[in-house]
Amino acid sequence: MIQGVSKILVMGKPITHQHILRNFGERLQKVRKSQGISQEQLAALLSMHRTYVGMVERGERNPTIRTLYKIAKALKVKSSDLLPF
């Protein structure tokens, strides 16, 4: 750990990379479904494959900042609305 930087804890446990990806995916799925958009439709808006969208929603892929921006723009939300922290 870097000196002077504390671990981020959730309910007393450190946040892992997988935890962040899973929570991001859950938020993405919730926003997408609340707008009545299918994975196929979102993938088409993003010019990406539907399986990639599904993998992001399951926390199996780590999208780039550029992809986060594209997703937020396609869903007409702020990028920060999709972040799990």
> Amino acid identity, residue 76?
K
Each residue's pLDDT tens digit, 24-72: 999 999 999 999 999 999 999 999 999 999 999 999 999 999 999 999 9
Residue 13: per-residue pLDDT: 73
User: What is the model's pTM?
Assistant: 0.81
In total, the chain counts a number of residues equal to: 85
Residue 5: per-residue pLDDT: 45
Asked: is 14-77 a CATH 3.40.309.10 domain? The reply is no
Q: Give the chain's count of helices (H) and strands (E).
A: 4, 2
- Check residues 10 and 66 and name the one with the higher pLDDT: 66
How would residue 12 be classed by pLDDT, with cut points 50, 70 and 90? confident
Break the chain into its structural domains and give their ranges: 14-77
β-sheet bridge partners, residue 2: none
